Amino acid sequence: MDESYPERALTHYVGASWRAPLSVRMHPLATSGLAVVLAGREDCARAGAVARAAQGAWGALPVPARLAVLRRMAAALPDRDRDLKSGFLAGITAEAMTPRCRSGVVELICAHEPSLGGFAHRIGAALAVGRTVIAVPPLSAPLGPIVLAVAADKAGLAAGVFNLLQAEAAEIRGLSSDLFPESDL
């Protein structure tokens, strides 16, 4: 794993940049001795505002152009993260084959299970249909999804289309009705 990944766990990926958290709550990672900074209400509000601002242009992008960016993002994912890469590719492929309309602006994706492939699949699917995403990885595997943010940068994904917060999924879901009333949960 890249040496900057533990440092990135102390920030949130919002608006195509690694931003200092507005919260100071820490969550220790049992297996590594590292910790992540948990997103609070203000972090979620900031990510929501950025995602909402990016949604119009991303959603209006023609499907072939949107899929080309997402394929570049998939190509930028490291081969060693096979579960993540295959899940993301499956998500964008499935949605490209069966586009559907969803209400709302921002898709909040909280992973409860440790399967990064399933998490990446849901992210790829949401992005493929033109949604912006605020992703909350499982606290059991918070560092793996950081590669999605790195790949988004390499692919040139527009600022605010993909956002990554380290947080407790249940807490973020609790805040979501207030902060993201138009989101799909």
User: What residues have CB less than 8 Å from 109, skipping those under 6 apart?
Assistant: 119, 122, 123, 126, 133, 134, 135, 136
Q: Rounded to whole angstroms, how far apart are CA atoms 28 and 100?
A: 39
User: Which residue has better confidence, 46 or 35?
Assistant: 46
Residue 104 has pLDDT above 50, yes or no: no
Q: Residue 152 has what pLDDT?
A: 94
Over residues 84-94, mean pLDDT: 84
Asked, for residue 132, whether it belongs to a domain, the answer is yes
Contact 116, 84 (CB under 8 A): yes
Structural domain count of the chain: 1
The parent domain of residue 91 ranges over 5-179
Asked, for residue 115, whether it belongs to a domain, the answer is yes
- Radius of gyration of the chain from its Cα atoms, rounded to whole angstroms: 15
Question: How would you list the strands of the sheet with 106-110, edge to edge?
Answer: 17-19, 12-14, 162-164, 132-136, 106-110
Q: Residue 74 has what pLDDT?
A: 92
Amino acid at site 82 = R
Asked, for residue 40, whether it belongs to a domain, the answer is yes
Asked, for residue 46, whether it belongs to a domain, the answer is yes
Asked, for residue 184, whether it belongs to a domain, the answer is no
Asked, for residue 185, whether it belongs to a domain, the answer is no
CATH number at 113 reads: 3.40.605.10
User: What residues have CB less than 8 Å from 89, skipping those under 6 apart?
Assistant: 74, 124
Q: Residue 96 has what pLDDT?
A: 57
Residue 185 has pLDDT above 50, yes or no: no
Asked, for residue 99, whether it belongs to a domain, the answer is yes
